């Protein structure tokens, strides 16, 4: 039987070869590519029709498309397809990220190696570069600063606590009304006070270069409600004629004329109530000052001095010690009228051979003046305004520098304002 066979539209082909071309009503060509049941395939729309008039290949019309009431189909929107990266581009980016991560890990490894070598004391230039070394050293220095800050905080807290109790070089001094007995008590204390002053200053200046100026001051309220001013300074004096002896004489002159110095520099009228003992090695200073706001402030201090001749001309030194009197029957404290101000101080004057500096002679000695002082405004029950208390504190702060400026002025040296 031929593969092509003419049949009517209602004819049923029992058996047709697959992929056969059929003619229907002399106007259509149908392609057979389905199962043996031709009628079922026609119903399922699997027969492709070729219209003779148009020469186009089309599917047989379905019942839905043949209906005149069917709405026209909307045009389909084009799908936006995202352009994919090429495989070699993705691999290139992954490679760059991995290389960067490797560099970071290597830097961390070098840092860890160097830290381990620093701890073991086996640092070698072959294990690290200069950048890593500087970074580690800077961090180590900052850690040391933090440790020192913690130590200073502990020391400041301890000093704050000590100011309420016994201060450095402080000795309990009680004087009777008998002048001879007072003199014996003070002379008995002199040697120990000077020895303690020298020992304390040597310990306080340990590790500090004496040929360079040094200054440190702390101000704080003590635990008992007082106000403390602790000051330590090292002052090299160049071009002093007379050396240590000249500086020592200037210190004695400032101590004997302290009431005049305070009155002239601060404007607070200051008088001396005690009688001068005419003794260069031991003297008492009973001072009463009136501030600009009318507050009376009293001091009762004892001043000890010593000048020691060395084996050579440059081996001599001078040391002074100042302490307050705790009880004085001849000059008692007046807490109902005055504010008490105590002071403990020590001074050491010595030589230091200096190398050539500027236009100075190479063999010219340098005199080093080292001083530590602690002034305390004691708590009071007097009705004093806050402004008056602040003024009294500022006056006490300025008087610390005023004393040494008087010494410099006596020696013909320029005055320093801090």
Share of the chain above pLDDT 70, in %: 70
27/314: higher pLDDT: 314
Indicate whether 84 belongs to any domain. no
CB-CB contact of 300 with 325 (8 Å):
yes
pLDDT at residue number 14: 44
Residue 49 structural domain: 6-60
Rounded to 10 deg, the angle between the 258-266 and 243-256 helix axes is 70
Q: What is the pLDDT of residues 386-399, one digit of tens each?
A: 999 999 999 888 88
Q: What is the mean pLDDT of residues 273-300?
A: 86
| Residues 328 and 181 occupy one common structural domain | yes
Is there a single domain that holds both residue 11 and residue 131?
no
Query: Both tokens of residue 180?
Result: 């001879």
- Rounded to an integer, the average pLDDT of 7-18 is 45
| C-beta atoms surrounding 20 within 10 Å | 15
**pLDDT given at position 232:** 94
Q: Are 158 and 215 in the same domain?
A: no
The predicted-structure confidence for 131-145, as pLDDT tens digits, reads as follows 777 888 888 899 899
∠27-31-32 over CA atoms, to 5°? 130
Residue 20 lies in a domain: yes
pLDDT given at position 2: 47
Residue 25 covered by a domain? yes
pLDDT tens, residue by residue, 304-354:
999 998 765 568 899 999 999 999 999 999 999 999 999 999 999 999 865
Q: Which residue has the tokens 């056969």?
A: 20
Whether 311 is covered by a domain: the verdict is yes
Bridge-partner residues for 282, per DSSP?
Answer: 304
Higher pLDDT, 32 or 351: 351
Q: Which residues pair with 20 in a beta bridge?
A: 32
Q: Share the mean pLDDT of the chain.
A: 78
Residue 110, in any domain of the structure: no
pLDDT in tens, 53-94: 444 444 444 444 444 445 556 666 666 666 777 888 888 888
In the block, residue with structure tokens 């014996």: 184
Q: For residue 100, what are its two tokens?
A: 């960067």
Out of 26, 43, 60, a domain closes at 60
pLDDT at 105: 92
Residue 324 lies in a domain: yes
Same-domain status, 206 and 316: yes
Summarised one tens digit per residue, pLDDT across range 165-204 is 667 888 999 999 999 999 999 999 999 999 999 999 999 9
In a domain, 81, yes or no: no
Q: For position 15, what pLDDT does the model report? A: 47
Total number of domains in the chain:
3
Residues 226 and 137 reside in one and the same domain = no
146: enclosing H helix or E strand: helix 130-162
Task: Label residue 273 by pLDDT band (50, 70, 90).
Answer: confident
Mean pLDDT, residues 144-172 taken together: 81
Mark whether 346 and 401 lie in a shared domain: yes
Q: Is residue 366 assigned to a domain? A: yes
DSSP characters over 254-286: HHHTHHHHHHHHH--EEEE-SPP---SSEEEEE
CA angle 380, 343, 243 (to 5 degrees): 160
Segment 12-37 mean pLDDT: 50
Kindly state whether residues 276 and 157 are assigned to the same domain.
no
Give 172-216 as a DSSP string: --EE-S-HHHHHHHHHHHHHHHHHHHHHHHHHHTTTS-TTS-EEE
Let me know how long the chain is: 418
Together in a domain, 130 and 248: no
Per-residue pLDDT, averaged over 272-289, amounts to 83
Summarize pLDDT for 225-236 with one digit per residue, the tens.
899 999 999 999
pLDDT of 372 reads 95
pTM assigned to the model: 0.64
Q: What is the per-residue pLDDT for 92?
A: 86
* pLDDT(44) > 80: no
| Whether 290 and 149 share a structural domain | no
């Amino acid at each position: 039987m031929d593969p092509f066979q003419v049949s009517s539209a209602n004819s049923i082909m029992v058996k047709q070869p697959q992929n056969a071309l059929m003619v229907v009503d002399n106007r259509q060509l149908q392609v057979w590519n389905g199962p043996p049941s031709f009628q079922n395939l026609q119903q399922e729309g699997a027969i492709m029709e070729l219209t003779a008039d148009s020469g186009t290949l089309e599917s047989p019309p379905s019942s839905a498309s043949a209906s005149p009431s069917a709405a026209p189909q909307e045009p389909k929107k084009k799908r936006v397809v995202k352009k994919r990266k090429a495989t070699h581009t993705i691999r290139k980016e992954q490679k760059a990220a991995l290389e960067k991560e490797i560099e970071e890990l290597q830097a961390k490894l070098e840092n860890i190696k160097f830290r381990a070598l620093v701890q073991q004391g086996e640092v070698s230039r072959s294990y690290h570069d200069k950048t890593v070394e500087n970074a580690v050293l800077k961090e180590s220095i900052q850690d040391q600063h933090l440790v020192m800050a913690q130590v200073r905080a502990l020391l400041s807290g301890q000093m704050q606590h000590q100011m309420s109790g016994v201060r450095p070089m402080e000795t309990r001094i009680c004087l009777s009304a008998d002048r001879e007995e007072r003199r014996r008590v003070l002379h008995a204390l002199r040697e120990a006070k000077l020895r303690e002053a020298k020992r304390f200053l040597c310990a306080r200046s340990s590790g500090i270069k004496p040929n360079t100026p040094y200054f440190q001051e702390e101000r704080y309220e003590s635990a008992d409600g007082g106000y403390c001013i602790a000051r330590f300074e090292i002052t090299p004096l160049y071009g002093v004629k007379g050396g240590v002896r000249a500086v020592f004489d200037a210190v004695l002159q400032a101590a004997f004329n302290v009431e005049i110095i305070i009155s002239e520099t601060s404007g607070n009228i200051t008088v001396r109530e005690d009688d001068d003992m005419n003794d260069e090695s031991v003297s008492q200073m009973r001072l009463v000052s009136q501030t600009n706001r009318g507050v009376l402030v009293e001091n009762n201090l004892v001043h000890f001095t010593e000048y020691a001749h060395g084996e050579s001309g440059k081996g001599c030194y001078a040391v002074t010690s100042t302490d307050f009197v705790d009880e004085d029957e001849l000059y008692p404290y007046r807490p109902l009228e005055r504010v008490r101000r105590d002071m403990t101080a020590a001074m050491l004057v010595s030589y230091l051979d200096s190398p050539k500096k500027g236009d100075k002679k190479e063999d010219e000695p340098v005199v080093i003046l080292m001083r530590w002082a602690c002034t305390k405004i004691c708590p009071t029950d007097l009705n004093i305004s806050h402004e008056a208390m602040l003024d009294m504190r500022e006056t006490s702060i300025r008087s610390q520098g005023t004393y040494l400026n008087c010494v410099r002025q006596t020696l013909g040296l320029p005055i320093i304002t801090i």
